[in-house]
Amino acid sequence: MAVTHVYTRGVGAGYVFGQLREMLDHRDLLILLTQKELKVKYKGTALGFFWSLLNPLLMMVVYTAVFTVIARFPVERYPVFLLAALLPWTAFSASILGATNSIVLNYNLVRRVRFPVEFIPLSIVLAYVVNLVPSIGILFLFALGFQQPLGWPLLSLLLLIPLQAMFTIGIALIVSSLTVYLRDVEHLVTLGMTVWFFGTPVLYPLSIFRGKALYVVLQLNPMTWLMDSYHRVWHENAWPQPGFLAAYALVAIVILVAGQLLFTRLSRRFAEEV
């Protein structure tokens, strides 16, 4: 059987604009793939979208019990503090885990259909971003219930969410393309995401390590910059730290470009490897 490979593009100076034009030309396909991800995920379920909230809400209850009763973190309105970072982290983690094996699982499309194959992991990320938006609305109501002061810093979410999407897409492109050639990547990503979670201030405030060596180490983690920004917006009613925000924006752009470069190069032999 003849194999029809996906687009094979050279990596030149104008590839970024070429990629943007190609995605715009095929935006209807990307929308369809994203809708498919959303429909398949909740197909046949009674609660639909609300299943995406149950896991972080359950984790919030468990972690709140542990860290307010046992560990006793000195954090007021800890459930709001926790959900502020747990919801975006859940979207990030689920996107990466879902994208990792996405090319391999969709081998029929990769082998037989001519289309921008990066749309496969991209659609998974976008589906979780779409889920994150209404989750933010639930968090807003939750914060009001705990009488958490909220104000103009909420506007920074209009920047934080797109930056998170860019960073996530870049990593998704990297791991999904590498998994085609080395299936062990799937297991490494699963383990890595667990370690990354506990090495990121989602459950705990970054400030508790101030003055310690670990404080410096944690600040080298790009997700620390993002989670700290979410904490400041939702829990402190403050704008993100400019240094963290600028650093995360720069890293998000670099990871996105690097991911697209690697994906473009490796995708030339996807049809033969899957």
| 208 contacts 129 by C-beta, under 8 angstroms | no
Q: Is 79 inside a domain boundary?
A: yes
CA distance linking residue 10 with residue 268, whole number of Å: 10
Write down the pLDDT at residue 8. Answer: 44
Write down the pLDDT at residue 235. Answer: 93
Strand ranges (E), 70-228: none
Q: How confident is the model at residue 15 (pLDDT cuts 50, 70, 90)?
A: low
Write down the pLDDT at residue 48. Answer: 57
Give residue 21's domain range.
15-273
| 233 contacts 156 by C-beta, under 8 angstroms | yes
Range picked from 53-57, 255-259, 265-269, 270-274 for highest mean pLDDT? 255-259
CA distance linking residue 134 with residue 239, whole number of Å: 22
Q: Is 7 inside a domain boundary?
A: no
Choose among 167, 185, 187: nearest CA to 175: 185
Average pLDDT, the chain: 83
CA distance linking residue 244 with residue 248, whole number of Å: 6
Q: Is 1 inside a domain boundary?
A: no
Write down the pLDDT at residue 29. Answer: 77
Q: How confident is the model at residue 68 (pLDDT cuts 50, 70, 90)?
A: low
Q: How confident is the model at residue 189 (pLDDT cuts 50, 70, 90)?
A: very high
Q: Is 4 inside a domain boundary?
A: no
Based on the structure, what is the number of domains in the chain? 1
How many angstroms separate the first and last alpha carbons of the chain? 15
Q: How confident is the model at residue 1 (pLDDT cuts 50, 70, 90)?
A: very low
Write down the pLDDT at residue 234. Answer: 95
Q: Is 259 inside a domain boundary?
A: yes
Q: Is 243 inside a domain boundary?
A: yes
| 238 contacts 102 by C-beta, under 8 angstroms | no
CA distance linking residue 224 with residue 147, whole number of Å: 26
Range picked from 87-101, 127-141, 207-221 for highest mean pLDDT? 87-101
CA distance linking residue 167 with residue 21, whole number of Å: 20
Q: Is 3 inside a domain boundary?
A: no
**Exposed, middle or buried by CB within 10 Å (0-12, 13-18, 19+), for 177?**
buried
Poorest-confidence range of 132-136, 147-151, 237-241, 261-265?
A: 132-136
| Model confidence pLDDT, tens digit, residues 32-60 | 877 777 777 666 555 555 666 676 767 77
- Give the tokens for residue 195: 């370690």
Q: Is 65 inside a domain boundary?
A: yes
